[in-house]
Amino acid sequence: MSDRNIDDGHDDIIYPSAVPFVLIHLSCAAAFWSGITWQAIAICIALYWLRMFAIGAGYHRYFSHRSYSTGRLFQFILAFLAQSSAQKSILWWAAKHRHHHLHSDTPQDVHSPVHKGFVYSHLGWIFARQHDATDLVKVADFASVPELRWLHKFEVLPAVALGVLCFLVAGWPGVVVGFLWSTVLLYHATFCINSLAHVRGRKRYVTGDESRNNWLLAFFTMGEGWHNNHHAYQSSARQGFRWWEIDMTFYVLKALSLTGIIWDLKSPSEQVLRNQQRLGSRVVNRAAQQLVTRFNPERIALAVSSALHSSELAALRETLSQARCQTAEVLASLYPNRIPTRDELLAQAQAMFARTRSLDEIVDRAYQLLLGSVGSQLVALVPQRS
């Protein structure tokens, strides 16, 4: 297999591991044989919402982001319920999600629709060989807990146990309609956060990625669809920041906190809620890189080089090579009519990004990145023009 295939990830699929996933989908058609009962439909609806809560409150807000605290008993219950959705172990899920936030919508992101395409980000990445292992270092805070390591080892046990319980309660309709149908619905509602919530919706915050707020996804995922909010303040137990942004998972968590089962629910500061916070350097850098792509450094470099004789281009190369740290200043002073101005970048940034106090920082960083990239392109062009 070539290095390109390994890097892309699209051709590195463990096809046998996808077989159970496909069979679960196909088995839903067994309802023609088992029949559909009102009891089974009620089980399907109940299991969908119960396990969606466990996914949002468990897999995501607790195990991935520690957005609240709880004891080991409820921690285990959350983990068991979440894994009954057949979305792999708590440790695997949390490790991949933490990696996602560290590299959101960059080439290193495990499921970015920006770089990997919609289908791969929706479900293809789950079966890729490079994502099969669990990086326990990323979840060291939970990896030492014996009962969680046990669930990690027997990750399908909760789902199997729930399927058996459905059979005991409602027979085969309970298994097919109650368990399998709700499991498939959970799959795609959850996966849509990885794929669709980075493609469709609105951005309130500059987060350095393509996360969006999507009210429809928020409804079907009990609040997880307020995804841009979440990326703006990842450790918040509440993801619907506005009063009208319904977040059922948070409402249940709030009720549980009143009983003492959970506590220390984290919330965003007033600065975050008012969109007045200053962005961290990582977000500024990512946003600046997004801004630079709108100006095409290669095209600018070609425009500059086309107006120069070979000797002039060679002299420019020498100047840029001797002043690596001042590349931006050299280009801006020598070719002001061919290099986009800072004001042009600012205008584009105002059109691209939501309101942020860090807009000037983003533009300044983007200006340096753009001119540095143009300089590198010009240096690379010299051998071709000599």
87-114 pLDDT, tens per residue? 999 999 999 999 999 999 998 999 999 8
For the chain, percent of residues with pLDDT exceeding 90: 59
- For the four alpha carbons of 183, 98, 102 and 257, in that order, the dihedral sign comes to positive
For the chain, percent of residues with pLDDT exceeding 70: 84
**Rounded Cα–Cα distance for residues 39 and 175 (Å):** 11
Q: What pLDDT score does 276 carry?
A: 85
The pTM is what?
A: 0.86
The helix-helix angle for 359-385 and 297-306 (nearest 10°) equals 50
C-alpha angle 125-8-227 in degrees, rounded to nearest 5: 45
- Report residue 304 CA to chain centroid gap: 38
CB–CB of 247/223 below 8 Å?
A: yes
The residue among 3 and 11 whose pLDDT is bigger is 11
57-71, 181-195, 324-338: range with lowest mean pLDDT: 324-338
Q: What pLDDT score does 337 carry?
A: 57
**Rounded Cα–Cα distance for residues 207 and 213 (Å):** 12
Q: What pLDDT score does 314 carry?
A: 59
Q: With CA atoms as reference, report the closest residue to 203 among 164, 222, 229.
A: 229
**Rounded Cα–Cα distance for residues 197 and 292 (Å):** 23
**pLDDT tens readout for residues 346-359:** 888 888 888 888 88
Q: With CA atoms as reference, report the closest residue to 1 among 10, 11, 186.
A: 11
CB–CB of 187/87 below 8 Å?
A: yes
Let me know how many helices (H) and strands (E) the chain has, helices first. 22, 2
CB–CB of 134/125 below 8 Å?
A: no
Q: What pLDDT score does 321 carry?
A: 56
**pLDDT tens readout for residues 124-177:** 898 888 888 899 999 999 999 999 999 999 999 999 999 999 999 999 999 999
Residue 332 has pLDDT above 60, yes or no: no
Q: Determine the average pLDDT of the residues in 33-59.
A: 97
CB–CB of 190/221 below 8 Å?
A: yes
Residue 226: φ, ψ to 5°: -80, 65
Helix (H, G, I), strand (E, B) or coil at 305: helix
**Rounded Cα–Cα distance for residues 123 and 62 (Å):** 23
